[in-house]
Chain A
């Protein structure tokens, strides 16, 4: 059974870059779409973007100028970078599989604060 686990710093300073990694276990990352979604505390879900196993990407237009999603097949991981963060980027960040998001990580809270 495929499992996903997010990892990365829980605290990021304003104007810096948020970097998270999702490790996929129990299956190969060399297929499917791999997505990032976030949820500000007490609020709804926001889709950030995906990377296909071939390397093609699609991003939320509202975040596109600041987002990069990449893939490391040798480590069975994919990553998220979000630059120039502000307090509005404080959220639980989830990684998930596929366009219909059929498998999710547990999420990791990232707080943007000085």
Chain B
């Protein structure tokens, strides 16, 4: 299985400041034949299902605010929230959908400082 490791486990950021969450995979999730990274980011608020934010590592899902962006390739990826809003408090997960099993990171809890 591809192991996904997120850092940090928790993060406190002031309103309006930048938040950065990292995700590292134990193997590449880049398919060279189509140059796509099979990596997604989700946001989960308490009592709700996860919500897709980013897929193909950097493509924003329709309706997701443009303060959310994804970057990276191969084994190292980043989710950036450019200006933190109160409604962004949540747990964020990365997930690869490339390997024999589609594994998630352990989650990063984002709070307001």
Q: Across the interface, do A105 and B104 meet the contact criterion of CB distance under 8 Å?
A: no
Size band of the A side of the interface? 10 to 19
Q: Across the interface, do A44 and B93 meet the contact criterion of CB distance under 8 Å?
A: yes
Q: A61-B1, A61-B101, A101-B95 are in contact. Are A45 and B50 (CB under 8 A)?
A: yes
Q: Across the interface, do A101 and B101 meet the contact criterion of CB distance under 8 Å?
A: no
Chain A residues lying within 8 Å of B101, measured Cβ to Cβ, are 47, 60-62
Least CB separation from A97: chain B residue = B52
- Judged by a CB distance under 8 angstroms, whether B77 is at the interface is no
Q: Across the interface, do B49 and A44 meet the contact criterion of CB distance under 8 Å?
A: no
Chain B residues lying within 8 Å of A101, measured Cβ to Cβ, are 40, 42, 50, 52, 95
- List residues of B whose CB falls within 8 A of some A CB: 1, 38, 40, 42, 48-52, 55-56, 61, 93, 95, 97, 100-107
Q: A45-B93, A101-B40 are in contact. Are A61 and B100 (CB under 8 A)?
A: yes
> CB-defined interface of A75-98 with B at 8 Å, one 1/0 digit per residue?
000000000000000000010100
Chain B residues lying within 8 Å of A107, measured Cβ to Cβ, are 49
Per the bound structure, the CA–CA distance linking A96 and B55 in Å amounts to: 15
> CB-defined interface of A25-69 with B at 8 Å, one 1/0 digit per residue?
000000000000000000011110000000000001110000000
Least CB separation from B104: chain A residue = A45
- A37 vs chain B, min Cβ distance (A): 8
Chain B residues lying within 8 Å of A106, measured Cβ to Cβ, are 48-49
Q: A47-B95, A99-B97 are in contact. Are A104 and B104 (CB under 8 A)?
A: no
Per the bound structure, the CA–CA distance linking A61 and B99 in Å amounts to: 11
